[in-house]
Structure 1
Amino acid sequence: MRVQLQNDRSAAAFSKQLLDIGEGKIPIDDTGLITLQNNFCTLLQSKEELIESVFPNIVQHYQQKLPGEATTYTSIDSVLNQDVVVNYPTEFLNSLDPSGLPPHRLVLKVGSPIILLRNLKPPTLCNGTRLSVKTLFPNLIEATILNGKAASEVVLLPRIPMIPTDMPFEFKRLQFPVRLAFAMTINKSQGQTFRVCGVNLEEPCFSHGQLLEYNYVIMVHLKDAAISIMKLHD
């Protein structure tokens, strides 16, 4: 779609490379891995290079290496079933870090990039909305929306109760529904638009066919993207 609508020659070449992978035209070595062409992406050799590529001049640009005092927000965790409360002490609940939930100790600074974990006010504040912290209050976070139609809009984020669905027991966490977003998972990045994207693949993470699927998503949604990859496995 991007090739047809934007007449992007580089995207056309990228599309062909993806099709070659999907059709099994890329040679596979004895370990079952493939080696991509150098023009498929920018290959880097260390995590430090990756950080510098995504956040250039990180020392000079304070937006990435934030000054000032950090504010820590601790959650209030409780078990919903009172019959099993004695089995799950508060300290244990505080130590849990389920997927899709904010941490018990949320440490933020003004300028921190954060990502919303719940739908608060669609379509302005939805799960996956990226924001930048503007002001930190004891019971509110003032932030500026970074993506979507409401970009640049200033909003207030409250603490809300959240209940994970993938736990063997039900517990509730009262916390701001955000996480730091200097980095995010591939699933969270789908549908986002970035000027630069760095992908850390130190460990194999793709099942059969997923490299083609996720790189297509990246190709469609990135704008002027430079993809930096340390090690690529399929």
Structure 2
Amino acid sequence: MAHKRALEALDRTLKDHRNDSRCFVGAMILLSGDFRQTLPVIPKSTAADEINACLKSSNLWCYVKKLQLVTNMRVTLVNDTSAEEFSKQLLLIGNGRVDVEESSGLIAFPSNFCNFVSSKDELINEVFPIIDNHKNKKWLSERAILAAKNKDVNDLNFVIQNQIVGTLHTFKSIDYVTNEEEVTNYPTEFLNSLDVPGLPPHNLQLKIGSVGIMLRNLNQPKLCNGTRLVITKLMANVIHAMILKGKFKSDEVLIPRIPMISIDMPFEFKRIQFPIRLAFAMTTNKSQGQSFSVCGLNLENACFSHGQLYVACSRVGKPSALFVLAPDKKTKNIVYHKDLY
């Protein structure tokens, strides 16, 4: 779900390079995507801004020939009798075709769509019933809990990691503003208190056996932003970890401290820290493209953006593998524009 300007820039570059006015100078470009999923993230934007950033709003869309995939591969691979109905219900959610209560604006989950839990502790126990089984890397790689907001994710990760037997190691970052003239305005204590999305925390607490996720590209394509790993050894200036998913699954990697600059603040500051966060639980947006055998969904704070509910529910291939914590078994389903499909 890249911004339309990226593709338009590629089109103009090819035309300039080849001195050819044809769209993409006559080359065939293969794109893959799902407009039901979360749209391009535009900071401080409205729904209209996000729709306007989509490829369908580009002048290139008239040249696109759409080939629609009709098989849900996650559902097909599990070979479960209840999965076919689950697949149809997912599409109803993704297309915004579910019934909405006029008074509250909420939707009610179908009774056979998932397994409902009544508390956060029950959700954790269903997804991570034997968390001390961290030596089984395959078991860890196939499960996660998803939530809409970072606050819920951080709370879940704290509780789950505490269940692991072992020494808790704390790594503190070095924070400072890049503009020397602003040093007196933003003291170090203030910078340390900031927990900015996309950056690791000032106090990074880890145990051997903890699951983490990379926040920066260190060694593409092996160690990239979004790579999930399990911690195998903790040292003062380097972390030993093993990749859990993907082409480089089971490969051992070393993660050093690196400088990272925040771009989401009114001022620029640099944080030197290990580029990793806990990932027993993760945000829905971060889970795009991943598949799990068991998935939990915390909807105490409802989804706030287009496609988040669809993405969260579609990480598994059968209803028995999805555990949902939702007040009164209801939640919001935000659909910006049905014509996107």
Instruction: Map 1:13-24 onto structure 2 (within 5 A).
Output: 13-21=85-93, 22=95, 24=97
Structure with higher Rg: it is 2
2:285 paired with 1:190: no
TM-score by length of 1: 0.88
Q: Which residue of 1 aligns with 2:233?
A: 135
AA in 1 matched with 2:316: L
- Given residue 210 of structure 1, which amino acid in structure 2 is its aligned partner? G
Asked if 1:164 corresponds to 2:232, the answer is no
Tell me if the contact between 1:196 and 1:224 (Cα under 8 Å) persists in the aligned partners. Answer: no
Equivalents in 2 of 1:148, 1:109: separation in Å? 23
CA RMSD of aligned residues (A): 2.2
- Matched residue, 2:277: 179
Over 4 Å off, 4+ runs: none
Cα distance, 1:15 vs. partner?
Answer: 2.8
Higher deviation after alignment, 4-13 or 141-150: 4-13
Pair 1:120 & 2:192 matched: no
Q: Residues 35 and 158 of structure 1: is their aligned pair in 2 closer, same or farther, counting only changes over 3 Å?
A: same
For residues 212 and 104 of structure 1, the distance between their equivalents in structure 2, rounded to whole angstroms, comes to 30
- Answering whether residue 150 of structure 2 is matched by residue 53 of structure 1, we say no
Task: Say whether residues 1:214 and 2:286 are aligned partners.
Answer: no
Tell me the residue number matched to 1:108.
206
Measured in 2, the distance between the counterparts of 1:190 and 1:97 equals 23
Which residue does 2:180 correspond to in 1? 82
d(CA) in 2 for partners of 1:72, 1:117: 18
- The count of residues paired between Structure 1 and Structure 2 equals 228
How has the CA–CA distance of structure 1 residues 62 and 24 changed in structure 2, closer, same or farther, with 3 Å as cutoff? closer
Alpha-carbon offset, residue 150 of structure 1: 0.6
Cα distance between partner residues in 2 of 1:156 and 1:150: 14
CA shift for structure 1 position 47? 1.1
TM-score, normalised to structure 2, is: 0.62
For residues 135 and 38 of structure 1, the distance between their equivalents in structure 2, rounded to whole angstroms, comes to 44
Kindly provide the amino acid, as one letter, of the partner of residue 42 in structure 1: N
Deviation track 1:141-163 (CA, whole Å, cap 9, x = no partner) reads: 00011111111100100000000
Q: Which structure has greater helix proportion?
A: 2
- Is there any run of 5+ residues in structure 2 with no aligned partner, and where? 1-68, 135-159, 333-341
Q: RCO (CA 8 Å, sep 6+): is it higher in 1 or 2?
A: 2
Asked if 1 retains the 8 angstrom alpha-carbon contact of 2:164 and 2:209, the reply is: yes
1:129-186 residue CA offsets vs partner (Å, 9 max, x unmatched): 1111111111100001111111110010000000011110000000000011121100
Match in the other structure for 1:3: 71
Contact 2:284 2:308 in 1 (8 A): no
**Residues 115 and 2 (structure 1), Cα distance of their counterparts in 2 relative to 1, 3 Å cut:** farther
1:32/1:130 CA distance change after superposition, 3 Å = same
